[in-house]
Structure 1
Amino acid sequence: MSRLDVTETFHSITFPGHLHTQDSLNYATNFKFQDTDTVIVTYPKSGTTWMQEILSLVLSKGDPTIAQTQPNWARAPWLEQYYSPDVLNASKGPRIITTHLPYRLLAPALKQSKAKVIYVARNLKDVSVSYYHFHNVAKFLPDQGTFSEFLNAFLEGSVHYGSWFDHVKGWTSHSKDIQNFLYVTYEEMWQDLHGALQKVSRFLQCPLTEDELIRAQKHCSFNSMKENAMVNYTLIPQEIMDHSKGKFMRKGKVGDWKNIFTEEQSFLVDDVYSSQMADSSLKFLWECPAEI
C-alpha cells in the first residue's frame, strides 16, 4: 500500500493516506477495547516511540529481547492505521495499542472499557521542530515549504493529525472521564527516565526490582533506541522515508527549538500558546534546566 500522495479527511482532520483509509479510521473509532489493553496516546512527535519502548521493557521486566527483535509498530500498533486489525487479531495476552487520534474521536469507544490510557505530551515548540524535520524525511507527508510556513500551518492546526492545542487539551481536560489515565510529559522522561519508568510500572501494576529498572532504563535510553533498528525506522524502505534527508531519531533533547526558531517566531508561539491555553493548567518545560 503506497498512496504516498493521498490525503484522507476524517471528521475535519487530515491523515496521510499511505497509512490511513476511511475504513481504518472508522475501525479505530468503533474499536472494542479490552480491559487489559494499554493505550499510548500522543500528538505526533511527542514521545510516542519512547513510550512504546518503555512499555515493552516494563512489561518484560527489563528484558530487551522483544524490543530488539520486533518492530515497534508490530508490538504497539497504531489503532487507526490500516494494518492494525491483522496485528491486533493475532495478538495474545495484554495488548499495547498506540494512537494519535484526538479525544473526541476515541472517547465513545474508550468509555466502555477499563483500558489503561497513557497520554504523553511534549512542549509545542519542540514538537513543531521535530514534526517539520519528519516532513522532510517522510515521503507520505506533504511538502510544507520553509519552517516559517510549516509553523504557521502548525499553529493553525491545518497540518496532518490536526491541532496540537485541541489534542492536548482534549485528552487532559477529560482525564477524569477515563477510568485509568496517566499523564506523562516528554520532558519528565528526559529529566528523570528512572522516575518515569517507576511511574509507568506502578500505573501498569507491574512492579520492577531496582535491577530490572536499571536494565529497562539502559535499553530505552535515547542512545540505545537510536541504534535499535526495531525503533529507529531504518527498516522503512527509502521510497517511503528518505533516510538521506535526516534520521527519524534526531537529538531527543529538550529545547532544541532554540536552534531553529527566530526571536519573532518564539514570540509568535508564546502569544498563540497564551491565548489557546488560557483555560488549561498544564505546564511545560521549554528549555534544558541548565540553560534557563
Structure 2
Amino acid sequence: MEGFDYSSMKISSRPELTEFEGISMVHYFTDNWKNVQNFKARPDDILIATYPKAGTTWVSYILDLLYFGNTAPERQTSLPIYMRVPFLESAFPVIPAGVELADNLPTTPRLIKTHLPVQLVPKSFWEQNCRVVYVARNAKDNAVSYFHFDQMNMVEPEPGDWSTFLHNYMDGKNVFGPWYDHVCGFWEKKKMYSNIHYMFFEDMVEDTGREIERLCSFLGLSTSAEEKERITQSTHFDTMKQNNMTNYSGLPVMDFKISPFMRKGKVGDWKNHFTVAQNEKFDEHYKQRMKNTTLQFRTEV
C-alpha cells in the first residue's frame, strides 16, 4: 500500500444519488455495507463523526497530532491523512476500503472517521463505549462548502447550479441525507451516551487553542502548553491547505482545477452565495426543521 501511486486510477463517471436505509447515498459508501455494519470497534477507538464539510479533516489532524505527533513523527510526512484516519464507510476503487484500512491501523488509539448519521453508525462503537468526537458547522456555510466540494469531487453526484443545489440541500437530497437530522441526531444521542464530545466549527475558527484544550480534557490527555500551541499552528487552515499530507491533493477522485479540497475554511462565506430571497426562504425552512431541538448555531463569529 505504501509507495503505491494511486494518481493513475481515475473515476470515469459520477454516481447517481440513491435512497439507502432511509437516506440519500451513492454506492461508494454502501458497496461495503455488510463489513461496515459488522466492523469491530475496540474500546480505545476514537470515532470522528461529522456531516460532510464540517471540519472533519481539521479535527482529524488535530487528534492525529495530539496522539502521534511526537511518538510517530514520520507518519506526518509519509502518510496522507486519509490513510492515518480511515473513512470507515468508503469503498473507492482508488484506495483500500475504509474498513480494511481501519482494521490494519497500527496505532493505539485508532482514529476513524465517518459521515454516517447516528442511526447508521456501526453498533460496536456504542457497545464498546468508544469516544466520539462530533463536529457540527452552521447549515449555511456547510451548504456553500458542500456545493463547491461536489463540483470538484467525482465520487459525488453532479451538483447542478447553486440554486438547484441549495434546493436539494434543504430537501436532504444530498449524500448522507439531511444536515438537520445529522446534527440533531448526534445532539440527542449525547443525552444518553456521555462519551460524545460535541464541537462547533465556528468555535474552532474563533479560538482553536481553546477547543484543543477542551478536546484534551475530554480525552484525558495531559498535553503541554507548548505542544498545544505547536498543534494550533500546524493545524491552521492555510498551513493545512499547503500540506500535501492533509490537503487531499494525492487522491485522484478530486479535480483541483475546479476547486481545492480545502477552499476557505471561513465562517460567514455564505453571504457571498445566498441571495436575499434564498436567505429568507432558507431561514423559514430552517426554523421549521430545527423547532424541536435545543441545538443552536452561529452563522458569523
Q: TM-score, normalised by structure 1?
A: 0.92
Pair 1:98 & 2:113 matched: yes
Match for 2:187 among 137, 155, 172? 172
SS of the aligned residue for 2:121 comes to helix
Residue aligning to 1:29: 37
Q: How does 1:28-47 map to 2 (within 5 A)?
A: 28-47=36-55
Q: Residues of 2 paired with 1:177 and 1:73: CA distance?
A: 31
> CA 1:179/1:28 → structure 2, altered by over 3 Å: closer, same or farther?
farther
Match for 2:26 among 16, 19, 24? 16
Q: Residues of 2 paired with 1:4 and 1:231: CA distance?
A: 25
Q: Residues of 1 paired with 2:38 and 2:292: CA distance?
A: 30
Partner letter of residue 45 of structure 2?
Answer: D
Listed as ranges, the gaps of 5+ residues in structure 2 are 1-8, 92-96
Which of 29-38 and 185-194 deviates more? 29-38
Shift of 1:3: 6.8
SS of the aligned residue for 2:291 comes to coil
Which of 61-70 and 88-97 deviates more? 61-70
Residue aligning to 2:140: 125
Q: Residues of 2 paired with 1:215 and 1:223: CA distance?
A: 15
Deviations 1:42-73 (A, max 9, x none): 00001101111110111135686433332111
Q: TM-score, normalised by structure 2?
A: 0.89
Q: Residues of 1 paired with 2:257 and 2:23: CA distance?
A: 30
Query: Deviating runs (4+, > 4 A) in structure 1?
Result: 61-65
Q: How does 1:59-78 map to 2 (within 5 A)?
A: 59-60=67-68, 65-78=74-87
SS of the aligned residue for 2:127 comes to coil
SS of the aligned residue for 1:140 comes to coil
Match for 1:197 among 183, 207, 212? 212
Q: Residues of 1 paired with 2:77 and 2:269: CA distance?
A: 28
Q: Residues of 2 paired with 1:68 and 1:285: CA distance?
A: 35
SS of the aligned residue for 1:253 comes to coil
Q: CA RMSD in A?
A: 1.8
SS of the aligned residue for 1:31 comes to coil
Residue aligning to 1:149: 164
* Contact 2:116 2:176 (8 Å CA) reproduced: yes
Shift of 1:186: 0.3
Residue aligning to 2:98: 84
Q: How does 1:135-284 map to 2 (within 5 A)?
A: 135-237=150-252, 240-284=253-297
> CA 1:187/1:67 → structure 2, altered by over 3 Å: closer, same or farther?
farther
Q: Residues of 1 paired with 2:282 and 2:78: CA distance?
A: 40
Q: Residues of 1 paired with 2:123 and 2:100: CA distance?
A: 23
Shift of 1:179: 4.0
Deviations 1:227-259 (A, max 9, x none): 01111111122xx21111111111111000001
Partner letter of residue 91 of structure 1?
Answer: L
Shift of 1:20: 2.6
Shift of 1:88: 1.9
Shift of 1:14: 3.0
* Equivalences, count: 284
* Contact 1:193 1:217 (8 Å CA) reproduced: yes
Which of 45-54 and 77-86 deviates more? 77-86
Listed as ranges, the gaps of 5+ residues in structure 1 are none
Residue aligning to 1:48: 56
Deviations 1:136-166 (A, max 9, x none): 1112212221101100000000111110011
SS of the aligned residue for 2:101 comes to helix
Match for 1:5 among 11, 14, 18? 14
Residue aligning to 1:287: 300
Q: Residues of 1 paired with 2:295 and 2:24: CA distance?
A: 26
Deviations 1:55-96 (A, max 9, x none): 011113568643333211111111111212321222222100
Pair 1:58 & 2:66 matched: yes
SS of the aligned residue for 2:300 comes to coil
Q: Residues of 2 paired with 1:14 and 1:103: CA distance?
A: 15
Shift of 1:284: 1.0
Q: Residues of 1 paired with 2:152 and 2:217: CA distance?
A: 36
Question: Identity over the aligned pairs, expressed in percent?
Answer: 35
